[in-house]
Amino acid sequence: MKFNPYLEVIIAAIIWGSTGAFVKYINLPPTTFSFFRLAIPTIILIIFFRFKKTPLFKGNNKLMYLASSLNAIRVLLYYIAFTFTSISNAAIILYTWPIFATISSMIFLKEKVEKRNLGLFALAFLGIIFVYLNKEISFANKDFLGMTAMIGSTLIYSFVVTIFKKESLKYTKFQSVFYQNLVGAVIFIPFLFINKPLPTPAQAGMTSFYVILIGIIGFGLFFSALKKIKLSTASSLCYIEVISAILFGIILFKEVLTWNMVVGGALIILSTVLLKREKPQPV
């Protein structure tokens, strides 16, 4: 069954937008969250590939291992961000990544991006500046620390997604998800036992549900779409994650939007609405 690639990205973005709500509610250390987030999809996919008798390792493994290692760092910074700052702050800052991803795709994938779309990315970046306006520039400030961790996460992710885009035609969508999680699943094993107290059964169960939703379904849809549309287009559609995350924060955690966050978020949303839609590329 074939799905509309634009719809796949939109659904994935809404799913990703629920991350902050899960992190705030479950309340585990970022390293423990990172373990669950990366290990569970890896285990599930190993079982799946064994059942389907599909080889796990193929193609340019060194390049994929590099992307997987970078992704482990990216995931840790991602959860640090949601731990220290509000869902709205983290979600808005998260979307500096399409700016970096667009530059990366132009350099490494030789993708052509219309000047109009570059202007819209600049508009989105201006929105990020507005969000930072009332924040104290100090790592003692939890909001600044969390938002800066998210900047680091997005910068790394722009390189990760470019590598996966480059290699995407060599792998199925689930093979791409497997490689994305593999290295981090191993790296974060010790933290499951180092961090005290250990996760309760309820925390472990809720985290496992979250991980399957985000790590398998969300990224499966995204990598499926990435085979058919440009990275820059997928990046832009993912701005919908910001809207859903902000709504989760307001409805579930009574977060309040300041004027600069409203202006910054509005600029980001405006850049998405004005983005010229591209036709899917043939596979």
Q: Which residue stretches of 196-255 are H helix?
A: 201-211, 219-226, 231-237, 240-253
Mean pLDDT of 35-58: 84
Integer CA distances (angstroms), 102 to 10, 144, 176, 190, 275, in order:
18, 25, 20, 35, 14
Q: Quick check: 205 and 35 in contact, CB under 8 A?
A: no
Q: Examine the pLDDT at 109 and tell me if it is beyond 80.
A: no
pLDDT greater at residue 276 or residue 134: 134
More confident call, 183 vs 55:
183
The number of residues making up the chain comes to 283
pLDDT value of position 279: 40
CA 23, 29, 89, 100 torsion: positive or negative?
negative
Q: What is the mean pLDDT of the chain?
A: 81
Compute the half-sphere exposure of residue 205: CA atoms within 13 Å on the CB side of its CA.
3
Helix, strand, coil tally for the chain in percent (to 5): 75, 0, 25
More confident residue, 202 or 264: 202
pLDDT band, residue 275 (cuts 50/70/90): low
- Tell me if 90 sits within 8 A of 81, measured CB to CB: yes
User: Across residues 185-193, what is the average pLDDT?
Assistant: 92
237 falls in which pLDDT band (50, 70, 90)? Answer: confident
Note whether 255 and 262 are within 8 A (CB). no
The predicted pLDDT at position 116 comes to 73
pLDDT beyond 70 at 211? yes
Q: Are 237 and 13 in contact (CB under 8 A)?
A: yes
Q: Which of 15-29, 61-75, 92-106, 194-208 has the lowest mean pLDDT?
A: 92-106
**What tokens does 278 get?**
């591209």
**Coil vs helix vs strand at 50:** helix
* Predicted pLDDT at 140: 66
